Every structure is written in C-alpha cells, then in structure tokens.
Amino acid sequence: MSAKVNDDLLTERRKCEFNVEELTNYLDGGAQATQNRRKLEDKVLSTKGLFDEVPEEYLSHKEKYENAVRKAVVYYKAMKEAEDPNQTEQERANATYRSLLHAAVFKDNSPFSLHLAMFIPAILGQADEEQKKYWMKRASKMEIIGTYAQTELGHGTFIRGLETTATYDPKTEEFVLHSPTLTAYKWWPGSLAHTANYCVVMAHLYINGKSCGIQPFIVQFRDEETHQPLPGIKLGEIGAKLGFNTVNNGFLGFDQHRIPRNRMLMKNAQVLKDGTFKRSPNSKLTYGTMVYVRVVIVNGMANQLARAVTIAVRYSAVRRQSELKPDAGEPQILDYVTQQHKLFIGIASSHAFTLTAKWLTRMYQKVTADLEKGNLDELPELHAIACCLKAVTTTDTSVLVERSRTSCGGHGYMLSSNLPQIYGLVTAACTYEGENTVLMLQTARSLVKALEQAQSGKRLSPTMSYLSEKVSSRLKWDNSIDGIVKGFRRVAYGKVESAMRSMRKYVRSGLGPEDAWNMSSVQLVAASEYTSISEADIRQLQDTYEDLLGKIRPNAVGLVDAFDFRDQILNSTLGAYDGRVYERLMEEALKSPLNAEPVNQSFHKYLKPFMQGKL
C-alpha cells in the first residue's frame, strides 16, 4: 500500500492550474516519448542489484569504487536488455535524452561514464572509416572500456602546450609515446586508474624532428586478460575529490611505449608508412570531441537543475516554519517571496536550458553534416556558441543548485537530501570540458571579430547579427518579451563595443595586442555572458517580476512534478513524491553504521579514560 501523501503536497497538486502531463509530454518531445522513457525507466529500475543496501556515503573510498563497478556492470546490461528493438535510434536517444536514469544508480557518476561520454564520441569523430568500423564494434559491445586522455598534470586548458610526445618511427612503422616530464603525465581522465584498458590519447606528433601538432591516438594500456598495465605504462588513481568519487579519475605516464601506425586516428590528418604527414583541412577538427561534449553538457545541466529544484520546491511545500502573520500558524516556506525568488528562477532556467540544448543540438548536427561534405564555414560559430552556452549553463546551474540546497536549511546539507552530491556533479562541469573563463574568452574572440566585420559593413551570422543592428541608445524599453529581448541585445552590443574600445585604448597607449586583450579580458568575459539594463527600467521590470512570482506560486509543485523524476532518480529524503520528509530523514539516519549500537567502542577506548583523567 503506497505511503500517505503529505497533505500540503496534495493541496498544492489540487491548486495547479495546468495539465502537468501535457508539460511532461512537451518536455519529452511528445506523449509517445514520455511513454518510451517511462517504459525504459520501469524496466531498468526493476533490475536486481542496482541499489545499495548500505548508503554509499558510509562506504570507504575503495568500497565505493568497487561497488560502483559492480553496479555499472548490472546497469549497463539492464540498459542493453531494456532496448526496444522496434524503436529507431532517434526514439532510443529521445527516451534517454531527458532521463537521468544513471542518477538512480550512481550518486557520484559511473566508472563507465567516460567510455560513453568521450571515448566513443572520439572514435566516431576522429577515426577514419576502417578504424571506426573496427573500434566501434569492440567499444559498443563493451569488449573494451575506454577513456579520453588529454589533460596532463601540467596542462589542461592550453592544448597546444601538451607535453606527451608521439614520435613516428618509419623503420618499424610505429609511434613511440613518451611522457618526458612528470607534468607530461596524463592526469584526470575518468576510468583511467583501474577501469579502462584503452584510451584516446591527445599527444604532440613529431616526424623527423618536426612538430605536426596535437593528434589523437587510440592506445591500449592494460592487458585485456590480466588487466595488468602494459610495459612502459605507469598508472594510478589521482585521489579523493569534491565529487566524481566513483569515476576513477587517474594518471598515466608513458615510457617509450610503442604503438602501430594505424593507432593514430586518421580521419582528419594522416601519417603514411614512409612518414609523410597529410595535414587536416583545419587543425581544430582535432578538438571536435570537446565541442560535442560541450553541446551534451547543456542538456545535462537542464536535467540536473530540474532535479535539484524538484527536491527543493517539494520540500518547500512541505516545510512549515516561522510566522508570516501573528496567530496565523506557521506558513509553508514556499509562501515566502524570498523562497519563490530563490527557486522559481531555477525552474525557468531549466526550461530555458532544455530549449537551448535542443537548438544547439540541431546546430551541431547541421554543422557536423556540413563538415562531412568538407564545408567548414560554420565551425567557428559552432565553437563560439558551444563555448558560451556550456560556460553559462554550467555556471548558472551550479549557482542555482547551491541556492536550492541552501533554501532547504539544515536538511539541505544532509547527503541524504542528495543536493550536495548534485552540486558536486554540476560544479565540476564549470571546469571540465574547458574551464568556463577560458571558454567565455573564446566566445569573446569571435564577438570582437564579428563587431569589426559589422563595422566594416560585412553581413554577420544570425547569432551575431545583434552586433550589426544600429540600435539607437535611446531605445524605449517596454516590458513586453520583445521589448526585453531588444533591451538585452542593445546592452550585449554595448558590452562588446566597450571591451573593444578598451582594447584600442590600450593599444594606443603602447601595449601590444596580447597585453591589450589581457587588460580588457574582464570586460570581454562580461561581453560574452553579462547583460544588465539601465536603472530606470529596473523598477518597472522588478514590479513585473514580483507579480510573476505570485502567478507561478500556485503552480510551483505542478511545474516540478512535470519534470517527472521518479523517487529513485531524485534519490532524496526531501524530494520524494509523497512528501514524507521527516519519516525519510529518520529512516536514512538509522542506516548510519554508528546507529548499530547505543555506545560506540571509542567511549571505552578513549572518552572514559580521558574524562577520568587517565589518558
């Protein structure tokens, strides 16, 4: 018999003014997609061995990893078996696009995550047809487990500064991989430490002493039978982290490790047997896997933020605290406008990121199709947009998830609420796949170029067209959507123009272009992300905003119910559908191993002799 739903939540659901199922269908991409997603979730989450008897928070670092590998094997098999053979590839992708199924199993991500998130995309994007056929068969069947090894102990952002070398030996038709220094050790790749046995390595290619730039190589580093590291390979785990503690991030050093010529992924650049180097049509095509992952991250942020606000809004409907009016009893904390201000932006942002992710995915698919036909025209714009949206969505999601946590008071600080772990996952995304400041500066580079083109009368791409609008600075604001968008475009234009003016001022003062760029870089980052509006209009928009909060209030629980996360995926004492937060907090507390006995052995060993002055 299902547990009684909290009365306040029941009332909230009765108050809702729209059809929740319709919004769920819209978010999934249609009623059929919702059905497919739910069917997949039902099948996978009914698999035995997927869940932890003891909450993983109470396991050791080593036990957590071993338990995660156990679950990863069960989960991967369950996902494969749950695949509906009658579904198209696209339907399957839609069913998982919004599902955070893996989050029901791994609170801190899976030791297989890099295999799926980067190793396979790197093969698809960097291997030639023959290589793709061979490696995709093995990788998609999990005969091998891979990762993406680019970052080194000494370099993460500056790819052209990577120290790992791949030197071509025409006599043996092999590449010799070497880590010349400690800082050249690959450092961070997920699954690298004990899980994977292959990786795509980004290394500096040298032929006859000449640099041929950073190229991708597929490298086996563990024996497929014994899993022992191969000769010339040094491996290990990088240690405990803020989050991602079951992703098994590792380090790898090469000592003159030889691989056959056909292990360089040769879709874009090639090395012939005699050592002839055939350059890529664009050296940045080697960075293609990162562009793809940045696009995927935007959607991931939408889903993780939706999960956090679902937990916080449901809890805020159940939690009653303080006094809004004397003798009126304790209100739901969701009735405090400050609480609405903290949480409703998160709901709106998640929807905005979902729509943005869909738009960006379509742009990525179009540009990738063009690249296949040799048309590279839109690659720079895709790069600039992917950088900006990855940086903005991860920064905003981190802020809004942390705000969801702090809006739940002390219970939000409990690991059993799952809000700290969600924060640990999303804040990592501000760093990986390109640190956000660095990516914003990449976007700024494109904005400055576009404004220069606009000022010389050239036509701009649709996403940059606001830089060619001769918008009068006395634009009349109105708080219609169109008026607000026009306002934002005007201000965004002003930010780029101001950064550019600043750079020109530094150059006139005698600074070189690089120093002028660096001196203006705070403004440049702002131009890529920041928009503000003039004083007079804040009041008008503020009134509109506060009025809007009141309109959303009766629908807040309906809006998060529409994200349709089942309790196992929320994995939270505060966010369950039935709202029984206090019973769940107590149930989880009692699972602590410390509660197995009323007096812990440390009393007799330490406390008692200490308090009796005998220690």
Ligand X SMILES: Cc1cc2nc3c(=O)[nH]c(=O)nc-3n(C[C@H](O)[C@H](O)[C@H](O)COP(=O)(O)OP(=O)(O)OC[C@H]3O[C@@H](n4cnc5c(N)ncnc54)[C@H](O)[C@@H]3O)c2cc1C
Ligand Y SMILES: CCCCCCCC(=O)SCCNC(=O)CCNC(=O)[C@H](O)C(C)(C)COP(=O)(O)OP(=O)(O)OC[C@H]1O[C@@H](n2cnc3c(N)ncnc32)[C@H](O)[C@@H]1OP(=O)(O)O
Give the residue among 422, 358, 365, 364 at the shortest CA–CA distance from 394. Answer: 422
Bridge partners for 204 per DSSP? 165, 214
- The contact set with ligand Y (CB under 6 A) reads 113, 117-118, 148, 150-151, 156-160, 190, 284, 287, 290-291, 379-380, 383, 432-434, 438, 442, 445
Query: Helix, strand, coil proportions of the chain in percent (round to 5)?
Result: 60, 10, 35
Min CB(249)–ligand X separation in Å: 6
> Which of ligand Y, ligand X, none has residue 445 at its interface (CB below 5 to 8 Å by kind)?
ligand Y
- Sign of the torsion angle spanned by Cα atoms 112, 114, 118, 119: negative
Instruction: Kindly tell me which of 131 and 304 has the beta carbon lying closer to ligand Y.
Output: 304
188 binds ligand X (CB under 6 A): yes
- The neighbouring-strand residues paired with 252 are 186, 235
Residue 199 or 492 with smaller CB distance to ligand X: 199
Question: In angstroms, rounded to a whole number, what is the distance separating the alpha carbons of residues 69 and 76?
Answer: 10
Residues 6+ apart with CB under 8 A from 289: 118, 121, 122, 125, 126, 148, 200
Q: Which does 442 bind (CB under 5 to 8 A by kind): ligand Y, ligand X, none?
A: ligand Y
190 annotated ligand-binding residue: yes
Kindly tell me which of 118 and 266 has the beta carbon lying closer to ligand Y: 118
State the alpha helices, DSSP H only, in 470-579.
481-508, 513-519, 521-529, 535-552, 556-561, 567-570
Q: Choose which of 415, 438, 471, 511 interacts with ligand X (CB under 6 A).
A: 438
138, HSE (Cβ side, Cα atoms, 13 Å): 15
Q: How far apart are CA 282 and CA 359, in angstroms?
A: 25
Span from 82-90, 148-156, 556-564, 577-585 in contact with ligand X (CB under 6 A): 148-156
Binding to ligand X (CB under 6 A) within 311-350 occurs at none
User: Residues 156-185: x/- map of binding to ligand X (CB under 6 A)?
Assistant: xx----------------------------
C-beta closer to ligand X: residue 399 or 438: 438
Minimum CB distance to ligand Y, residue 12 (Å):
34
Size of the site for ligand X (CB under 6 A): 22
Name which of residues 510 to 549 contact ligand X (CB under 6 A): none
Integer angstrom CA distances of residue 446 from 286, 364, 441, 478: 19, 17, 9, 30
For residue 455, the minimal CB distance to ligand Y (Å) is 17
131, 266 contact by CB (below 8 A): yes
For residues 20 and 561, is the Cβ–Cβ distance under 8 A?
yes
Please report how close the Cβ of residue 111 comes to ligand Y at its closest, in angstroms.
Answer: 11
437 binds, among ligand X, ligand Y, none (CB under 5 to 8 A by kind): ligand X
Pick the catalytic residue from 224, 433, 435, 535.
Answer: 433
Structure tokens at 511: 């600074």
Name the binder of 454 from ligand X, ligand Y, none, CB < 5-8 A by kind.
none
Cβ–Cβ < 8 Å for 330, 364: no
Q: Could you give the 3-state DSSP secondary structure of residue 339?
A: helix
State how beta strands 165-169 and 198-207 pair: parallel
Least distance (Å) from ligand X to the CB of residue 243? 7
Stretch that binds ligand X, among 160-168, 257-265, 437-445, 557-565 (CB under 6 A): 437-445
What pairs with residue 198 in β-bridges? Answer: 146, 220
- Of 127 and 525, nearer to ligand X (C-beta) is 525
- Asked about 529 being catalytic, the answer comes back as no
Active site residues: 433
Residues belonging to the binding site are: 151, 190
Residues belonging to the binding site for FAD are: 151, 190
